[in-house]
A and B are shown apart, each in its own frame.
Chain A
Amino acid sequence: AQSVTQLDSHVSVSEGTPVLLRCNYSSSYSPSLFWYVQHPNKGLQLLLKYTSAATLVKGINGFEAEFKKSETSFHLTKPSAHMSDAAEYFCVVRTSGTYKYIFGTGTRLKVLA
């Protein structure tokens, strides 16, 4: 069965410093992987997606993630945090050919001035 594990429930960074949000996945088949962001009282917005093309995926707002099959990881990074990045981030897996998306428990990112 497929699953995702977000290794940190909370991450705090200073504005202008790098962001690293960690995600490990488990899937029997080639997965599709996504990162979504949720700002307070808002719906989920897609940041980026991996669908078996390039392993380094670039998303919106300067975020990127690297798919590492050997480590079963899909960590989200950003070189320089901005105050507006403060939100909840979800790693999501969908196994090819299925309808079901499995969400991680989320990482709350706090950006300090």
Chain B
Amino acid sequence: ETGVTQSPTHLIKTRGQQVTLRCSSQSGHNTVSWYQQALGQGPQFIFQYYREEENGRGNFPPRFSGLQFPNYSSELNVNALELDDSALYLCASSLLGDLTGELFFGEGSRLTVL
């Protein structure tokens, strides 16, 4: 069973730039969620995708956007980067309809904005 994989693992950007983070879901999972984890904090929900559409969003501005592809992989895009966007970005896959609701996380992409 293939786990959740994310790329890149680390990257550095400057303020105002744009970034794309990628995620491959665990085999058999049809839902992907993205979380932002600032240093010393718990993960914060950004949004969730199911069947290539966003079906839930947290308190993040529109410059945070995403895509889900037919193979259930996903991208997180952040435009006009700000210093506060520096964080670990976690992707989690799950199976919609699974009553246990377990999320399976990747190891994250650590973004530093200078």
State the A residues within 8 Å of B (CB). 32, 34, 36, 41-46, 49, 51, 90, 94, 98-106
Contacts and interface: CB of A to CB of B under 8 A. Distances in A.
Nearest to A6: B42
Contacts of B41: 105-106
A51 B99 contact: yes
Interface in B60-105: 90, 92, 99-105
B112 interface: no
B35 to A, nearest CB: 8
Nearest to A34: B102
B90 A43 contact: yes
Contacts of A94: 101
Interface string B6-36: 0000000000000000000000000101010
Contact of A99 (B4, B33, B43, B102): B33
A106 B44 CA distance: 12
A101 B44 CA distance: 8
A106 B37 CA distance: 11
Contacts of A98: 56
Given A43-B90, A43-B107, A44-B90, A103 B101 contact: no
Contact of B108 (A43, A103, A104): A43
A101 B42 contact: no
A38 to B, nearest CB: 9
A49 B45 contact: no
A42 B110 CA distance: 11
